[in-house]
Amino acid sequence: MSADKHLQSWQERFEMAEAMQPLLGKLYRNQGVEVVVYGKPLLNASTIEIIKSHRLVRRHVGEKLRLRESFPFVEALSKLAVKQCKVDIGKLAVNYWREYQDASQIEAYMSRELADAITHQDDEEARDVVLYGFGRIGRLLARLLIERTGVSNKLRLRAIVLRGGRTGDLEKRASLLRRDSVHGPFNGSVEVDEENNAIIANGTYIQVIYANSPDEVDYTKFGISNALVVDNTGIWKDEAGLGLHLKSPGASKVLLTAPAKGAIKNVVYGVNEQDILDEDTIVSAASCTTNAITPVLKAVNDKYGIENGHVETIHSYTNDQNLIDNYHKADRRGRSAPLNMVITETGAAKAVSKALPVLEGKLTGNAIRVPTPNVSMAIISLNLNGETNKHDLNEYLKDMALQSELQNQIDYTDSTEIVSSDLVGSRYAGVVDSQATIAEGNRAILYVWYDNEFGYSCQVVGVMQKMLGLNYQSLPHG
């Protein structure tokens, strides 16, 4: 291909991606339809990101997906009465072009494949959400909720609850939402309403409330009712402490973004969210590590069976550690986080059994905190009941990442060059690094990357939807 043809091809792809953008935006904001290409989200994607998502299809299916091949599916989707779902146009397009030679059957094909979403009754009421705490997870949850702003949005971020309330606090909180050293700038505009103590982000009016205890707030004074309170503080982890939220007028349910104590259900979205009942008022979304490893462990156990194993997490440092050497009540965590690898404990391996009881007593775990600000890795060493090898195990996990009910939790990479910073912003619970897989006989060692902030926050949003009875299916099913 000549240099001019390369440029012409690029220009055509660029223009096609530009034409997709308004359709993608309207589909989400007006119908609640999130469009992806083999799991890669196109919501608020740039033209370059749309082009790159199509190039990655070759890694999954061994063949190109051109934008001119997928664009008719976006057009057809925009004409259908599809609501409240995630649609993978990459899979739809690849499957279609394998069966048909021209575009004449696309609309009929789409109507068949998306029939469940077309008949879906969009009668769920929008629900109020309150973020109690505004640290790393709180701010990322805010970003995820705000990017979904639109007439079809069912999760409405109404308020943030903070301790303190010193002079200049509001502007500082808004600034931390605008700028993030790891995840980059906020995609949109953030304004401060000092007079009414509120933050306005992309048109979302967020009341900022100051309180020192969960039971001090009357949410109804701010027009908030029947709200889900998402506790990001980690201060209260049992039923007695988290139950304080339910004493506040306007609050009806509580979700903890940390492992819970006692009888509170620990839920890993995609694995055991069906355990959440309408009458459950307090639920935990477990930990980032538990969310990263449980879907992979479930997939492996379903096929091979797990006799026992050990999980070692190589985890980025967190705000709980010290920036420089200083007193800390926990062992070793007082030493400077940016300068040391720090051995510490993790309950993630044991917590897996709360979401996947079949693994009760079969796993041990430990953790090493390392001097990186985000993205961690779980090294999962397993003794299996069945035999396998590297190729077969990787092919199975690749299929799980692409075609199974765990496709929104498990991602898969065969890159020989990927490193931790490449996974910043990953929306998956965990990413299987196939090049590092070791398997022979009944022994297997898996390496699973995870964005312990953003990927986990995406999992939390899934639990939020389930707690509030919001149905959001992924299509096509196969």
Kindly list the strands in the beta sheet with 40-41, ordered across the sheet, starting from the edge strand earlier in the chain.
40-41, 33-37, 85-88, 473-475
Strands (DSSP E) along 351-419, which ranges?
A: 363-370, 376-389, 410-413
Report the alpha-carbon distance of residue 208 to residue 205 in Å, rounded: 10
Q: For 74-124, give the DSSP string.
A: HHHHHHS---SEEEEHHHHHHHHHHH-SSGGGHHHHHHHHTHHHHS----P
458 is catalytic: no
Q: Shortest CA distance to 224 belongs to which of 234, 244, 209?
A: 209
Tokens at 9, concatenated: 């091809």
Q: Shortest CA distance to 389 belongs to which of 275, 296, 475, 304?
A: 304
Q: How far is CA 268 from CA 252, 281, 366, in A?
A: 21, 17, 20
Is the distance from CB of 139 to CB of 176 less than 8 angstroms? Answer: yes
Report the length, in residues, of the chain.
478
Please state whether the peptide bond connecting residue 476 to the residue before it is cis, i.e. omega within 30 degrees of 0.
yes
Report the alpha-carbon distance of residue 451 to residue 431 in Å, rounded: 9
Q: Which amino acid is at 70?
A: S
Helices (H), 106-208: 106-113, 115-118, 136-146, 169-178
Mapped onto helix, strand or coil, the DSSP state of residue 306 is strand
Of 92, 228, 288, 467, which residue is the catalytic one? 288
List the catalytic residues: 288
